[in-house]
A = this chain, B = another copy of it.
């Protein structure tokens, strides 16, 4: 056998010639289609391996109108641990199926381009499908752009219009309810909540769970117990300062995410309060920060990577199906409570 140039210029024609078959047969083998004799298939496969043949994806895309590219859309790429987890999970699913992951960002409306630029980007990015993350997955303009581009999409943890597309989710509300009840059952009666941004559905659902738990116990949560936050650590710090300034201090603080909980820890330190002795603090998400905080943060584990992985799977599985968007599909993943060191019964 002649040595081929090392630059990987081996094409389907070379394989066909070496195997003594037509390129169509090679194509069938490559794509694991039926209708090839076992012997032929084995022979072609061996030649493919020895010659190190990899199909040219552009050619494949051009004729099949598939790109083997999945886009994952974020609002902010720089800020959250969340982004990394989503990418890890999505890449796992992509890799299994021979797809690659392209990261896209919807710039905020005030930025040059904004949703408009995003929509244009979608058109020449030739995705086979996209995964939408919160809060982008609830943005009407973004949804419109994706649908106009005719792209199949799956949403992660959407907050509205559940029939509009397949999605992956976990029960934030129920988890937050359990988290709150855990504090209640420890003996806490003045439990405060640090809320997230209004455009994040998860923040809303978690707040609902918190309120629901208190009402279940016959307590109407006071408005001043719910402090505004922005999912960022600094906002948790500020919110906690406000909560600690209340005439009747809460004995426990439930932050809608771990970042804010860490901010709450810092505020407690500033005020000379020992956690969990003087104040219990719990978070939500179970990011590495939660494990690294001191004291280690009691929180709720959100299976972020797994949710992204499931989303990509649903997307890819649906490619064969014309009616992907019609088939209202949803996959629910489980959370779990993570007991660590930042919550304890109140002193008095």
Contacts and interface: CB of A to CB of B under 8 A. Distances in A.
A233 B292 contact: yes
A232 B103 CA distance: 25
Given A8-B150, A123-B8, A292-B262, A62 B56 contact: yes
A78 interface: yes
A237 interface: yes
A118 B57 CA distance: 17
A221 interface: no
Contact of A234 (B104, B126, B292): B292
Interface string A6-43: 11100000000000000000000000000000000000
Interface stretch (A186-194, A248-256, A263-271): A263-271
Instruction: Quickly give the copy total for this chain.
Output: 2
Interface residues of A, number: 60
Contact of A95 (B59, B79, B121, B291): B121
A259 interface: yes
A248 B123 CA distance: 64
A226 B237 CA distance: 32
A234 to B, nearest CB: 5
Given A150-B8, A237-B292, A103 B79 contact: no
Nearest to A292: B233
Interface in A64-79: 67, 69, 77-79
A263 B296 CA distance: 11
A91 interface: yes
Given A83-B84, A266-B293, 10 more contacts: A7-B150, A8-B149, A54-B124, A58-B61, A77-B84, A88-B105, A95-B117, A98-B124, A102-B102, A289-B289
